[in-house]
């Protein structure tokens, strides 16, 4: 993908990977629009980066997804890249009472929203130069951490979906990427950590972004970054080893 001169919509740009992508793509000479639920974050980011375009939007809400697509088409018709990045990660322990509200929100945010946004944006993207959809999945798409059962299932589904989307769109001029991050030090899962100063762990966001941008630039349509590549290669072989580190 030519990484200059695009208009890029990034869902979930108020922290972590989405925000780091936004900063990097601005540096590379793109127009960038970010979304998120937290208005205070969006405002603070715009103060720091006046060129960024912000849009408060909850992608777990179907009406807001439709409104977002209409707003983009009207206000930023030059948008040619959609990055489905927003995501949430919860613990789902089937040995306890499962919070079905959380299950629903996790699937809606991580899977249904990207499906809906892709379907809303494909007609708009067709015919655009350098038209691209980038889905952010996870190394956990290839081997689950059992305690994050729904999260991992949503990411495995996103991996499968991305393959199908890429195949279906092969003659449309829309390129479809999957970027599978390894564990990256962001706010993901922050709400469940009792000690809010505790970090997520994982590699620094800057290191991940450098590798992810290189993959996008080199048209690596399926890129498992850093140790996610090991999970991609060995998949379920690693299940016992990975899960012995997590207890419930």
Ligand X SMILES: NC(=O)c1ccc[n+]([C@@H]2O[C@H](COP(=O)([O-])OP(=O)(O)OC[C@H]3O[C@@H](n4cnc5c(N)ncnc54)[C@H](OP(=O)(O)O)[C@@H]3O)[C@@H](O)[C@H]2O)c1
The site map against ligand X for 8-27 (x = CB under 6 A) is ---xxxxxxxx---------
Task: Please give the size of the binding site for ligand X, defined by CB under 6 A.
Answer: 32
Least Å from the CB of residue 222 to ligand X: 14
**Would you say 59 or 125 has its CB closer to ligand X?**
59
Q: Would you call 225 helix, strand, or coil by DSSP?
A: coil
Exposed/middle/buried for 49, CB within 10 Å: 0-12, 13-18, 19+? middle
* 46 φ, ψ (degrees, to nearest 5): -65, -35
User: Phi and psi of 178, rounded to 5°?
Assistant: -120, 125
Site map for ligand X, 66-105, x if CB under 6 A? Answer: -------------------xxxxx----------------
Give the span between the Cα atoms of 33 and 178, in whole angstroms: 20
Question: Distance between CA atoms of 140 and 183, rounded to whole angstroms?
Answer: 9
Stretch of 117-125, 163-171, 182-190, 209-217 lying at the interface with ligand X (CB under 6 A): 182-190
CB closer to ligand X out of 5 and 214: 214
Structure tokens at 205: 């966001």
Query: Side by side, which strands form the sheet with 222-224?
Result: 53-56, 31-36, 7-10, 81-84, 132-136, 175-180, 222-224
Based on the number of CB atoms within 10 Å of its own CB, is 231 exposed (0-12), middle (13-18) or buried (19 or more)? Answer: buried
Interface with ligand X includes 114 (CB under 6 A)?
A: no
- Residue 33's DSSP bridge partners are 9, 53
Site track for ligand X across 118-157, x = CB under 6 A: ------------------x-x-------------------
Q: Which among 34-42, 91-99, 116-124, 235-243 is the span making contact with ligand X, rule CB under 6 A?
A: 34-42
Complex with ligand X: residue 128 or 187, whichever CB lies closer: 187
Specify whether 151 is catalytic.
yes
**Which range touches ligand X (CB under 6 A), out of 25-33, 95-103, 177-185, 235-243?**
177-185
Select the residue interacting with ligand X from 26, 28, 41, 146 (CB under 6 A).
41
DSSP 3-state of 209: helix
Q: Which two tokens stand for residue 189?
A: 């899962």
Q: Judged by CB under 6 A, which of 184, 212, 213, 215 binds ligand X? A: 184
Beta carbon nearer to ligand X, 59 or 131: 59
Helix or strand run (H / E) with residue 29: none
Angle between helices 16-27 and 205-217 (to 10 degrees): 60
**Which part of the chain contacts ligand X (CB under 6 A), choosing from 7-15, 22-30, 213-221, 235-243?**
7-15
Residues lying near ligand X in the complex (CB under 6 A)? 11-18, 35-38, 41, 58-60, 85-89, 109, 136, 138, 181, 183-184, 186-188, 200, 202
Q: Please identify every residue annotated as catalytic.
A: 151
């Amino acid at each position: 993908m030519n990484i200059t001169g695009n208009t890029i919509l990034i869902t979930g740009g108020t922290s972590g990977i989405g925000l780091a992508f936004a900063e990097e793509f601005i540096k590379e000479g793109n127009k960038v629009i970010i979304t998120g639920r937290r208005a205070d974050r969006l405002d603070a980011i715009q103060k720091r980066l006046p060129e960024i375009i912000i849009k408060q939007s909850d992608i777990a809400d179907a009406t807001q997804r439709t409104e977002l697509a209409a707003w983009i088409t009207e206000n930023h018709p030059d948008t040619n890249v959609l990055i489905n990045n927003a995501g949430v990660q919860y613990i789902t322990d089937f040995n306890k009472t499962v919070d079905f509200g959380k299950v629903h929100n996790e699937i809606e945010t991580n899977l249904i929203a990207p499906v809906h946004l892709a379907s809303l944006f494909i007609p708009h993207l067709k015919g655009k130069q350098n038209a691209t959809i980038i889905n952010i999945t996870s190394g956990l798409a290839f081997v689950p951490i059992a305690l994050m059962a729904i999260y991992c299932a949503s990411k495995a589904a996103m991996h499968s979906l991305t393959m199908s989307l890429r195949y279906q769109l092969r003659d449309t001029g829309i390129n479809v990427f999957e970027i599978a991050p390894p564990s990256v030090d962001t706010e993901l899962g922050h709400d469940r950590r009792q000690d809010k100063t505790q970090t997520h762990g994982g590699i620094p966001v800057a290191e991940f972004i450098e590798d992810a941008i290189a993959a996008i630039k080199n048209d690596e349509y399926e890129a498992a970054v850093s140790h996610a590549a090991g999970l991609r290669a060995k998949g379920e072989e690693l299940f016992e080893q990975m899960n012995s580190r997590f207890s419930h």
